[in-house]
Amino acid sequence: MKYYDPLKLTEETIKIVVKEDMRKYYRVGRSSRWYGGIVDSYCCGCNLRCVFCWSGFPRDHPEDIGRFYSARQIFEEFVKCARQKGLKQVRITGNEPTLGRRHLVRVLELIDATSLLFILETNGILIGNDPTYAEEISKYRNVHVRVALKGTNRFEFARLTRAEPKYFNLQLKALENLLFAGVSCHPALMLSFTTQANIEKLKKSLKTISPSLAENLEGEYVILYPPVVKRLEEAGIKPKTTKSQTTRPRT
């Protein structure tokens, strides 16, 4: 199998989805039931190609969908929807929020002047690669980071993402960098493609960084939307466990 380099894919994708302090989105200011209720804005483009990902076209063809928004425009959409729906949490989702660093940090800066909580969902690759990213995030109090681990080890990571195996370590390094910078964070793990034995090994690795990471490891299961089923079939990967499309939201 030919693997790709996520950092090189980052550079290629940024050229498409980032323009100075603006980022490309395909849907903004929508409420959803995750985390007990949250306002979502959906960005385009990612630096991983997970086989279980529900984001298809906006991930693989960001040049053909969405439009550019400034950080202030996204902030205003967050505030408007949060007020209308009575919500206190917001997130940039759909793909990888950390690709547009200048844009993301500006959003965090604006959120920090409110009572809203920003939940940063990330694969951690860029935060693990550059500790100054975590340091910059640490300047803002209204943020919690959820690092979604793609597998329990480098071999599962490569199988599920098609990326070079060594980059699994950057996900763990992201958690280390965040904790060192004093940023509130926790790891999440896709449980559908691994074993209990491997989960326990991962927990041991997390404990070497901080016992709290192992204690707060969040589990999630693949949701079998039709495009996800097709992608898994094409990859020859069958999940061990799944959740239906009516799965309960993360909290």
Question: Tens-of-pLDDT digits for all 251 residues of the chain?
Answer: 799 999 999 999 999 999 999 999 999 999 999 999 999 999 999 999 999 999 989 999 999 999 999 999 999 999 999 999 999 999 999 999 999 999 999 999 999 999 999 999 999 999 999 999 999 999 999 999 999 999 999 999 999 999 999 999 999 999 999 999 999 999 999 999 999 999 999 999 999 999 999 999 999 999 998 889 999 999 999 999 887 533 333 43
Q: What is the DSSP string of 72-98?
A: HHHHHHHHHHHHHHT--EEEEESS-GG
Q: Say what the pLDDT of residue 247 is.
A: 38
Q: Say what the pLDDT of residue 246 is.
A: 35
Q: Say what the pLDDT of residue 1 is.
A: 75
Residues ≥6 apart with Cβ < 8 Å to 8:
none
3-state secondary structure of 124: coil
Tokens 């959906």, located at residue: 42
3-state secondary structure of 207: helix
Sequence ranges of the domains in the chain: 6-235
The CA-to-CA distance between both ends of the chain, in Å, stands at 37
Q: Which of 70, 80, 69 is nearest to 114 (CA)?
A: 80
Decide if 97 contacts 120 (C-beta within 8 A): yes
Q: Which is the CATH superfamily of the domain at 6-235?
A: Aldolase class I (3.20.20.70)
Q: Say what the pLDDT of residue 244 is.
A: 52
Name residue 167's amino acid: Y
CA distances (Å), origin 46, targets 24, 86, 149, 198: 12, 30, 15, 26
Determine the Cα–Cα distance for residues 49 and 60; give it in Å rounded to an integer: 8
